[in-house]
Amino acid sequence: MTDKIQDQVKEHFKFEVVHVDKNSKARAGIIKTPHGDIPTPVFMPVGTHGAIKALQPSVLEDMDTKIILSNTYHLHLSPGSDLVKKAGGLHKFMSWDRPILTDSGGFQVFSLQKHSITEEGAEFKGPKGKPIMLSPETSIGIQQNLGSDIMMAFDECIPYPATREYTKNSMDRTHRWLDRCIRTWTNPKQALFGIIQGSTYDDLRAECVEEVTARDLPGYAIGGVSVGEGPELMEKIVSYTAPLMPVDKPRYVMGVGNPEDLFMIWDYGIDMSDCIIPTKFARGGTLFTNRGKIRIKHRNYRRDFFPVEPNCECYTCKNFTRAYLKHLFDANEILGQILATAHNIAFYKSLAERAREAILENRYTEFKNEFLSNYNKD
């Protein structure tokens, strides 16, 4: 990437730390992109195929969702990034004029077992048995066709557990892949984020931070967490890695979505996160509230004429009861999944907004402790 393009990127993408809570490391900021500003901390709903499952974009707009995430690998399979580009880019294709972040396909290196990894990239066995090669060049090329505001560098999401030797070799290759991503990156209206790997090894995490941040990218993410290591190791990784990351760039932890885990990452100054948990759980009938999760299919809710969350302002809670939602799930009506998804996304958005407000007022720790004391994790 030339200095000229790097300067142009800085014209289109900016990040500012607005305030750091006086009693913790939690911080509130704002990310400025060509498609709008994103107050942080922010939780990003996942729209794998260019759509939040069971939800119209207009519902997301009505609740003022600031950014969504889409998947490079799956959009490459269908409908293909060339088609999306011809349609005017992903924003126009899915009728969404707010920011979009696209992952690189690196998570699929972890989640899809039918693949092989070489220096060139990762070769997957496609849905019809045809091999699909995803490399740093193709990943960035696809993301540039999609036209996302934030692109993620192509990496290997290292599984847990991983030996030190495997982790070191994978991490070094990811650094080489990052340089290839940078050389392929040509659109100054798209910000490229680097990803920090290193599994559970502190010194390798530190080495990766040093290598990746030396490229002076617009933002950085902690990858390779929420891959089976458990909450204690996840916190160990985040608590060690986050303080090493630049304070003037957005910090993103990938794939973290339980409410208690969000508070943990916010504790260490993380600005961005994403996860399929709120939407996936909603489709199965699990709804999030300030007092824990509600499994709406349970017989207890058959005659429960209260809203899911009494003080929630979402469309679901303002108009429908728990009894009605249970009926919808019992009757296998798609509206049940729609209303549950709308509520869960609204809950997560509200949680991040309340955390931001608490940070700005230097009462984040009080807010966190009060929420967690009332929240039943089971």
Consecutive H or E run containing 75: helix 72-77
| Closest CA relative to residue 194, chosen from 264, 246, 231 | 246
Across 110-125, b (16+ Cβ under 10 Å) vs e yields beeeebeeeeebbbbe
Amino acid at site 213? T
CB of 110 within 8 A of CB of 157? yes
C-beta atoms surrounding 161 within 10 Å:
13
Amino acid at site 203? D
CB of 288 within 8 A of CB of 348? yes
Could you tell me how far CA 101 lies from the centroid of its own chain? 8
CA distance 111 to 272: 22
Cα 191–197–199 angle (5° rounding)?
155
> If you compute the radius of gyration of the chain from its CA atoms, what whole number of angstroms results?
20
| Closest CA relative to residue 173, chosen from 202, 198, 141, 140 | 198
Task: Spot the catalytic one: 62, 64, 103, 248.
Answer: 103
Q: In the annotation, is 274 catalytic?
A: yes
Task: Spot the catalytic one: 21, 261, 267, 274.
Answer: 274
CA distance 222 to 304: 42
Pairing of strands 292-295, 286-289: antiparallel
Consecutive H or E run containing 274: strand 272-275
DSSP, collapsed to helix, strand or coil, labels residue 36 as strand
Positions annotated as catalytic residues are: 103, 274
